[in-house]
C-alpha cells in the first residue's frame, strides 16, 4: 500500500510540471507580447512567475513533510537523494519554508506598487533604477526573518527526539535520528513552557502577520477610495488598474486559503497541547497548487492576456491565418 507521503510526492512532481509550463508561458507572453504592462510592473510579473517555478522545483529537492503529535511538531525532509548530507537537507527545508514568505512579501511589494501608482504616482520612480534592488531585496529579507529563527529556536534536542521518535517510527517506519529535521515541542515533561521553541512560533506568526497587515492596509484603502482616485486616469488605464487590483487580491487569497488557513491550527496545536496525531505535511500538496493556479488566474483576470491567448489559438488553428490572428506573430497593439 502506498503511503500518504509518497502520494504527496507524486502530486509534487505533477505540480512542478504544471507550474513550469504555465509560468513559462506567462513569462513568454509578458516579455514578448504584452504591451500595456510597462517596465517595472512587467519585471515584477516576470520575477513572480519565475519564483513560482523555483518554488515548485525546490519542493522536489527538499521533499518537506510535517507531523503534529500532541504538544509537538516535526518538520523534516523525506528526500533520499542526499543520504550523507543532513545539513544540506536541513537547509533545503528551511529554504522551502522561507520561500513561502518570499512569495508573500513579493505580493506585498506589488500591493505597495499598486498603491503608489494610484495614490502617489510621483513616487513610482522610486521603484526604478536603484529602487529595483530595494523591492528585490525586501522579499529575501522577509524570507530570512521567517526561516532564520528555525535554525535558532527549532533545532532538535534530546527531549524533542525522545518525545517524537516512537510516533515517527510507528507512522513512517523511520528512525528520527536519520531524518534531516527541526522540532517544536512547546512543553517539557513537567508542563513548563519550552521558551526556545515557543519563540519560533511567536516570530513566525509575527513575520507572517506583518505582511498581511501591509496587504490589508493597502488593499482596503484601494478598495474604498480607488474609484475616486482613478477619475484622473483614462478609461482603458482605469480598467487595467482595476484588473491588476483584482489579480493581486486573488494572488493573496489563494495561498491564504491553500496554506495559511490549514497551517494555522497546525502551528498553534502544540501550544494547546491537545491529543492529536496528524500527517500535516499533506498541506504542502495544496501549496504546490498555488504557482500554476496563480498564473492562470492572473492571465484570466488581465484582459490583454486573454486577447493574446485567443489570437494565438486562432493563429494555430488556421492554416491561413486571418488578419486578426496574424497580428500575434508580430506584436499586440492596444
Q: How would you class 63 by CB atoms within 10 Å of its CB: exposed for 0-12, middle for 13-18, buried for 19 or more?
A: buried
Please check the confidence at residue 165 and state whether its pLDDT lies above 90: yes
Residue tagged 529602487 (cell numbers): 131
From residue 244, how far is each of 18, 38, 193 by CA, in Å?
23, 13, 45
Cα gap 7→78, rounded to integer Å = 12
295 touches 79 (CB < 8 A): no
- Per DSSP, 2 falls in state -
| CA nearest neighbour of 251 among 55, 41, 110 | 110
Beta bridge partners of 74: 67, 183
All domains in the chain, ordered by first residue: 4-306 (1.20.1070.10)
The sign one gets for the Cα dihedral 7, 13, 18, 23 is: positive
Q: How many residues does the chain have?
A: 334
Q: pTM of the predicted model, to two decimals?
A: 0.83
* Maximum Cα interatomic distance, the chain, rounded to a whole number of Å: 79
Looking at per-residue pLDDT, the higher value among 88 and 239 belongs to 88
Q: Three cell numbers at 329?
A: 506573430
Q: Which residue has the higher pLDDT, 288 or 5?
A: 288
pLDDT (tens digit, 9 = 90+) per residue, 3-28? 666 777 788 888 899 999 999 999 99
* pLDDT score, position 2: 55
Q: What is the pLDDT of residue 330?
A: 37
Rounded mean pLDDT of 284-299?
86
The answer on pLDDT for 35 being more than 90 is no
Task: Give 100-125 pLDDT, tens digit per residue.
Answer: 899 989 989 988 988 888 888 888 88
Q: What is the pLDDT of residue 5?
A: 67
Q: Give the 3-state secondary structure of residue 141.
A: helix
The partner residues of 76 in beta bridges, in order of sequence, read: 65, 181
**CA-based nearest residue to 144, from 203, 201, 87, 89:** 203
Mean pLDDT score of the chain: 84
Q: How many CA atoms lie within 13 A of 318 on its CB side?
A: 15
Q: Residues of 38-47 as b/e, b for ≥16 C-beta within 10 angstroms?
A: eebbebbbbb
What are the pLDDT digits (tens) for 168-201? 999 988 899 999 999 999 998 888 999 999 999 8
Amino acid at each position: 500500500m502506498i503511503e500518504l507521503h509518497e502520494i504527496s510526492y507524486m502530486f509534487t512532481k505533477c505540480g512542478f510540471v504544471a507550474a513550469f509550463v504555465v509560468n513559462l508561458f506567462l513569462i513568454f507572453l509578458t516579455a514578448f507580447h504584452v504591451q500595456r504592462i510597462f517596465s517595472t510592473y512587467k519585471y515584477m510579473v516576470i520575477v513572480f512567475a519565475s519564483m513560482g517555478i523555483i518554488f515548485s522545483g525546490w519542493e522536489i529537492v527538499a521533499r518537506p513533510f510535517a507531523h503534529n503529535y500532541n504538544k509537538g511538531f516535526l518538520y523534516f525532509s523525506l528526500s533520499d537523494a542526499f543520504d550523507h548530507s543532513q545539513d544540506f537537507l536541513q537547509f533545503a527545508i528551511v529554504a522551502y519554508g522561507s520561500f513561502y514568505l518570499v512569495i508573500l512579501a513579493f505580493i506585498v511589494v506589488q500591493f505597495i506598487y499598486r498603491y503608489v501608482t494610484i495614490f502617489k504616482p510621483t513616487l513610482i520612480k522610486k521603484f526604478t533604477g536603484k529602487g529595483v534592488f530595494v523591492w528585490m531585496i525586501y522579499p529575501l529579507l522577509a524570507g530570512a526573518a521567517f526561516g532564520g529563527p528555525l535554525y535558532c529556536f527549532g533545532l532538535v534536542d534530546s527531549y524533542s527526539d525522545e518525545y517524537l521518535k516512537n510516533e515517527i517510527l510507528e507512522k513512517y517506519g523511520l528512525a528520527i535520528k536519520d531524518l534531516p529535521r527541526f522540532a517544536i515541542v512547546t512543553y517539557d515533561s513537567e508542563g513548563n513552557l519550552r521558551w526556545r521553541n515557543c519563540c519560533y512560533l511567536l516570530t513566525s506568526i509575527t513575520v507572517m502577520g506583518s505582511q498581511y497587515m501591509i496587504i490589508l492596509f493597502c488593499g482596503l484603502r484601494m478598495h474604498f477610495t480607488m474609484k475616486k482616485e482613478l477619475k484622473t486616469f483614462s478609461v482603458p488605464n482605469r480598467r487595467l488598474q482595476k484588473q491588476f487590483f483584482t489579480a493581486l487580491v486573488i494572488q493573496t487569497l489563494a495561498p491564504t486559503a491553500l496554506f495559511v488557513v490549514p497551517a494555522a491550527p497546525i502551528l498553534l496545536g502544540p501550544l494547546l497541547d491537545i491529543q492529536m496525531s496528524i500527517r500535516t505535511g499533506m498541506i504542502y500538496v495544496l501549496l504546490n497548487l498555488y504557482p500554476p493556479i496563480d498564473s492562470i488566474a492572473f492571465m484570466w483576470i488581465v484582459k490583454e492576456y486573454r486577447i493574446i491567448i485567443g489570437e494565438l489559438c486562432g493563429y494555430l488553428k488556421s492554416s491561413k491565418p486571418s488578419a486578426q490572428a496574424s497580428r500575434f506573430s508580430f506584436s499586440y497593439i492596444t
